[in-house]
Structure 1
Amino acid sequence: MIPAYVAAASAFSLLLHLVLLSKPVKKMWSRFLPPNKTDEEPSAFSEEATTVDGFYSEAKAFINRHGGLVIFAYKFARFTGCLVFLALSLATFILEEREEHSVGTDKKSERKHHKTRPIDGPIPFSRVEWLRFVLCMTAAYASILGLVSVTAKPRWSRLVSNHLATLLFTMFAVFAYRDLWPLITFHLQPKDLREGGLLWAKVVVLFLTSIVFPLVSPRQYIPVDPARPTETPHPEQTSSWLSMVLYTWLDPIIFKAYRIPHLTQEELPPLADHDYSRNLKKKSFP
């Protein structure tokens, strides 16, 4: 149930965010606060003004606004992984439901916890089936977040991506505690072992979408001063989290310096915009 609670908190947070950015709420706040000269917060699904023509040009511009082809590919792969996990969760729920029905109607079965059909009404869900159903709903919510992350504007995409990353990591942590941790002990067994291959397929999908993709995906460059972005960002500003930890973003310049006797100033990485003197001055003396 922990992933369901996280999903509910995420949905409430996003809904509250949308309400606070709605026009009626902004109009109400404008009566108590001084007028703000900044532009109005864009909607998550409103169309942006573009000067490109043709589907290919519009798609290319849209991908560039999301950080480029590599970052968008990782987002789309994560969305695909969410759909796969949803399909696996539904398959597990349907197969267990059929198994419960077949066991409940088998008179020779010695199973203690079988379903009994009421005189009038459908067969009630057991606690395990309710948990499976809630997991399917959580996976569906994760798929919706994944869809929004690849279709909304960049600012909303980053916000939704943070919610999705938290939700996927929570689901993987729960599966790791229930089904991976017992494998390194001598007296415990995975709690969902009866799912068979579907269990390990879900674990692999969650591991890829919640651990691998966030670690190896490059980060989108966000300028310190949006009005004056740098043309070529520093490699550290766009490297992945794994590259940041292992400092592999330094490998190209190190190997290049090893092959030649001297590096010119033009061959060195550009200065990061957060180290510009004007930005440091603005940060130190606001």
Structure 2
Amino acid sequence: FGGLSHMSGWFDDIFIFDTITNTWTILETEGNKPRARDKLQAVAVDSNIYYFGGFGPKSDEAEVADLDGEDDDEDDEAEDVPQDQDAAEFGWFNDLYVLDTVNLKWTQPMQMNLGVPTQRAAHGMCAIGRNLIIFGGRDVEERQNDLHIFHIDTRKWVTDLQVGGQVPAPRSFHTLTAVGNRAVLFGGRGRDDKHFDKFDVFDFDKKQWFPVMIEGDKPAARGQHCTVAVGNSLFLFGGSGDFSPEIMQCQTFFTDAFLIKSEDFPTQ
């Protein structure tokens, strides 16, 4: 779902890839779908996909604006508004949408309490049980390192969350992946535009962060990589690093892959 093209602007379409036939299909859905955006996060829980946040146009007029001809060449990691657009028309989101993959219908569950995270993009999100966990990302102020938990069944955000351990530094473009009852954080770009190369684990039961030391070959500092849980292991692929503030682009792009076993993520 979604994304950004400098030729066409932001998208609000959704595709499905059939792993048997190796073919892509555009899905026709019903209901009130999210506004076009990029840098959002999605996670599957049972037959539903939950989407949160992102960055994009706040009005239909901005949504169809032609982004061709930009002289800034905004890279995939830049959350900044294109220079030739009105900044008031663009912004971050903190809305929550659900796609029922059986009925192909969008819904927007009413969030029953306060405590909704600030509008943000390029955050990390995963699901442990019937809970959505969100960490970091960039909001209107800066890159953040706050953690939020949403209970799917009660439709409430945890407002009195007390987190122990050493909280990881603020960042965006990281990944947060559920491996068992733990959320594994890796990479991302910090407030100084430097990328991270360390793993941190959030133990959901203890509500505590633990740093992790990985032995052997480990991924270099990066962001915009992909991670997925495979059984009790974490698979990591790709990403980009060595961000240059002068040209607003990363200088290094990765094609390497890593498999980290769950026993490498001990908690204390």
User: TM above 0.5, one fold?
Assistant: no
Q: Is the helix fraction higher in 1 or 2?
A: 1
How high is the TM-score relative to the length of structure 2? 0.21
Bigger Rg over Cα: 1
How high is the TM-score relative to the length of structure 1? 0.20
Q: Is the strand fraction higher in 1 or 2?
A: 2
